[in-house]
Chains A and B, each alone.
Chain A
Amino acid sequence: MKPAPALAEGFPDLSGMRIAREPHWFRWLSAALIILVLAAIARAFANGQIEWSYVSRFLTAKVILEGIVNTMVMAVLAMALGIVLGIVVAIMRLSPNPVLKTVAAGYTWLFRGTPLILQLLLWFNLALVFPTIGIPGLWSARAVDVMTPFLAALLGLGINQGAYTSEVMRAGMLSVDIGQYEAAQAIGMGRLRALRRIVLPQAMRVVIPPLGNEFIGMVKATSLASVIQYPELLHNAENIYYANSRVIELLIVAGLWYLLVVSILTPLQMLLERRFARGTLRLAR
């Protein structure tokens, strides 16, 4: 038997000794290489056929600013329509009613299965199919007057978005534990109230990151509405370069604006995420 309190020899006390800084040679080398490549690209663009003065002049031109406002208005409205449709369709998809289920699946199939630009063109040219539209006996109008570029873009983008959003929402609802439905039922809630009060708020936490993704996609997808004459950012930039032939300069202007908007959206998404994370973070008290 060894005497218990004594410690064995040969294991020196290391407390008080610092850990040496690592050199990280490879990081320095790779950073230097990247800077070299970036400098070469910057030099090429500086010496290329680009008049940078046009870029700075048109960056804040009135038509461009109107374009970005129209882009954002359309993105927000179409996304709102898409989220409303997406929630309704997801609830239909998860309902026990086979009719609702089939309708929901058919909607998703149709609008995810065809190109967005084709859907926009169809909405815009609806007047070719139905010259007049309305409710019989109550109201009617010529389709060309009703189906403005604004409305065609809103319907095309929003309804298409709804098909994608419904799948995001469905995933979110499925991620909520079945016990939550049961607990809601046990205190007398019906299916829809349980969805609205208990399941959807919890699903939101899961769906916000993919919805943020979808919204960023939507901001850029509005540029497709340029083909149906909706005066959004890209459409307005094109109109300018048709007149002055400064194609690349104006495309760079549009690109810078898209980048700026998307950069602002990311921190906004983080704020929303924090709002819906209530109860899941162990907040310091």
Chain B
Amino acid sequence: MTKPLVAIRSVAKNFGEFQALKSVSLDVWPGEVMCLIGASGSGKTTLLRCINQLATIDAGGIWLDGELLGVRQQSGRLHRLTEREIGRQRLKTGMVFQRFNLFPHKTALENITEGPLQVQGRKLDEVRTEALELLRRVGLSAKADWYPAQLSGGQQQRVAIARALAMKPMLMLFDEPTSALDPELVGEVLAVMKELARSGMTMMVVTHELGFAREVADRVVYMDQGAIVEQGRASDVLGAPREERTKAFLSAVI
């Protein structure tokens, strides 16, 4: 029997008084493409950041590939992992940010090779070959030596996807990858993500692109006020929602 790649159990996260996540439990299966939808402040971005440990959870547990994230169980207690161990766990996930966050002082190619060279300590020629292949895959072979400021938003986000893929992650996390883009640039990024989904990558995508969710997602999860309200096949959740809150959200965004 296969096991879930990500198992989230009773996860809570507070920012001061504000409860960003209230006891969220969820499984993500290998090869699954999951879209998380919901209004801003519903906790979907926080959930992604907890999986990548850019945010630490206050209660519950997240297992990635069978390994408990951020803490270690020992004699009935939980002990925080060191920064180095957390860094090692992060390598299993790739993160794509809403605002791209490319390194502006490095070229597109250097952005992609930075992690494999500096963190994984791999050889330059091998890393370079792979990075050029990744650039080809996102359709930017001609831009290898360009700096981020010379690229359009859509091109920057495609480089950012290539940068995340360069670490050979088991899971790709997308945090509203097209929200900061001009409308005419959204399509090129979604096309890269569709190709990635077809290649069998496990993906969690926080998005407002319901068309993308309908076409690509195996499962759509609707969140509101820090909790999962409804989940299921895209055609069911988006086409025939059962919960009133889901219906209200969908009628507001379409």
Contacts and interface: CB of A to CB of B under 8 A. Distances in A.
Interface size class of B (residues with CB under 8 A): 20 to 34
A197 B90 contact: no
B149 A183 contact: no
Contacts of A201: 105
B99 interface: yes
Contacts, number: 82
A278 B52 CA distance: 30
A280 interface: yes
A187 B115 contact: yes
A189 B118 contact: yes
Given A186-B54, A187-B163, A278 B99 contact: no
Interface in B38-62: 52, 54
Contacts of B160: 183
Contacts of B124: none
Interface in A89-105: none
Contacts of B99: 179
A185 B90 contact: yes
Interface string A175-196: 0010110111111111101000
Contacts of A282: 149-150
- If over half of A's interface residues share one DSSP class (helix, strand or loop), that class is named, otherwise mixed; here it is helix
Chain B CB within 10 Å — which of A179, A186, A198 has the most?
A186
Interface residues of A, number: 27
Chain B CB within 10 Å — which of A183, A184, A201 has the most?
A183
Contacts of B105: 201-202, 205, 276, 278-280
Interface of A: 177, 179-180, 182-191, 193, 197-198, 201-202, 205, 276, 278-283, 285
7 contacts: A179-B97, A182-B97, A186-B164, A190-B84, A191-B83, A205-B105, A278-B105
Interface of B: 52, 54, 83-84, 87-88, 90-91, 93-95, 97, 99, 101-107, 114-115, 118-120, 147-150, 160, 163-164, 166-167
